[in-house]
Amino acid sequence: MAEEVSILTKATVRMRQSGRVLEIVGALRKGGKDRLQVISDFDRTLSRFAYNGKQCPSSHNILDNSKVISEECQPELKALHKHYYPIEIDPRRTIEEKLPDMVEWWTKAHDLLCQQKIQKFQIAEVVRESNAMLREGYKTFFDTLYQNSIPLLIFSAGIGDILEEIIRQKKVLHPNIHIVSNYMDFDKDGFLRGFQGQLIHTYNKNSSICKNSDYFQQLQGKTNILLLGDTMGDLTMADGVPGVENILKIGFLNDKVEEQRESYMDAYDIVLEKDETLDVVNGLLQDILHRGDGVPLEEQMETHSPGVLACPPSGKSSPSLLCAPGWMACHLILTVTLQVGLVY
């Protein structure tokens, strides 16, 4: 059975308006690869949030916890994270209320890093010795986009040099990738002296950052967008794209799930709760690109009414299904007849 059946029935999937999602997927499919571009956050979107119950490092964390940071500086960086991270994910505060704190956090952290005499050649070693992990299915994701000539913009408030090196070491740094991030500025002797360009933090990832770039202008005709993020700040990453026709927003809800679920479901078309894979994204790409022998997605699903897709975790899929174990149908919205039986 084709994997299109199971794309949106994985236990981690939540949708406020399933019918609307299917409409957007249909429009993306109709436009095909020639009209599609992907815009994605990096930290905790393409990279994992946790592994075996332990939180994975972000691109900032990788540097903060490395041997190039002095013993005196590491506690200061950890203290900044302890103070500002709860503010970053606090659903009770507006983005406007969080902005000054985010600017303050990034500025203080970058100032501390610039005091560490970090050398350019050390970046590759820092990444190699770290616990950096991309989400399961990352190779399929990166390779599918490259093989189909689909542009991928990685728009990150992390450290560009670190995340680029992670992608390089994973051997998926393809020519179709463009990265907008906080890149280090090294002096003539190779020592870190600052960061290039405008500071990018969680909540200013919008057209103001890309206004001096002709990246989006070079992608004339790429008016369909698949957007991937994990914070409310990621929702504006496509603001600089001219003439957007269709956009599907997929949000990874990694932390404080109960507290943030409603706001995420209001903001993102598809919410993935504590899902450390790219299964759903890859499955959607396959459907959009007409991969496999299955019947199109909407013909496999009967949408009853708008509501919450709340699939209870249970069991495993048949080995004959082209999907990850743990995917199953949801009785709240979808009625799907599979070869292996009736799931409702």
Which pLDDT tens digit goes with each residue over 12-21? 999 999 989 9
Q: What is the rounded CA–CA span in Å between residue 309 and residue 258?
A: 15
Q: Which of 103, 128, 153 is the last residue of a domain?
A: 128
Closest to 199 in 3D by CA, of 160, 228, 227: 160
Number of domains in the chain: 2
Q: Would 342 be classed as within a structural domain? A: no
Is there a contact between 106 and 199 (Cβ–Cβ < 8 Å)?
A: yes
Q: Does 91 share its domain with 233?
A: no
| Distance, CA of 296 to CA of 22 (rounded, Å) | 10
Q: Dump pLDDT digits (tens) for 293-321.
A: 344 455 544 443 333 333 333 333 333 32
Q: Which pLDDT band, with edges at 50, 70 and 90, does 6 fall under?
A: low
CA atoms of 46 and 37, how far apart (whole Å): 16
Say if 195 falls within a structural domain: no
**pTM of the shown model:** 0.82
**pLDDT of 77-112, one tens digit each?**
999 999 999 999 898 999 999 999 999 999 999 999
Domain CATH number, residue 257: 3.40.50.1000
Spatial distance between the Cα atoms of 216 and 7, rounded to a whole number of angstroms: 29
Q: pLDDT digit string (tens) for 153-210? A: 999 999 999 999 999 999 999 999 999 999 999 999 999 999 999 999 999 998 888 7
Is pLDDT of 60 > 70? yes
Residues 122 and 215 in one domain: no
User: What was the pLDDT predicted at 164?
Assistant: 98
Same structural domain, 89 and 166 = no
Tokens coding 232:
């409310």
- Can you give the pLDDT at residue 283? 94
Give which of 33, 52, 49 is closest to 41, Cα–Cα.
Answer: 49
pLDDT at position 170 is 98
The two tokens of residue 122 are 């050390």
Domain hosting 222: range is: 13-49+135-188+200-297
Domain boundary among 277, 297, 317: 297
Task: Say if residue 212's pLDDT is above 70.
Answer: no
Looking at residue 90, which CATH number applies to its domain?
A: 1.10.150.340
DSSP structural state of residue 54: E
Annotated catalytic residues are 41, 43
Two structure tokens written together for 200: 């990018």
pLDDT over 60 (residue 216): yes
Q: Tell me, what amino acid is at 274?
A: K
Pair of tokens at residue 7: 């794309």
Examine the domain organization and report whether 71 and 142 are in the same domain: no
What is the pLDDT averaged over residues 255-269? 96
Question: Domain boundary residue among 256, 281, 297?
Answer: 297
* Shared-domain flag, residues 250 and 184: yes
Q: Clarify whether residues 158 and 78 are in a common domain.
A: no
Residue 217 is assigned to a structural domain of this protein: yes
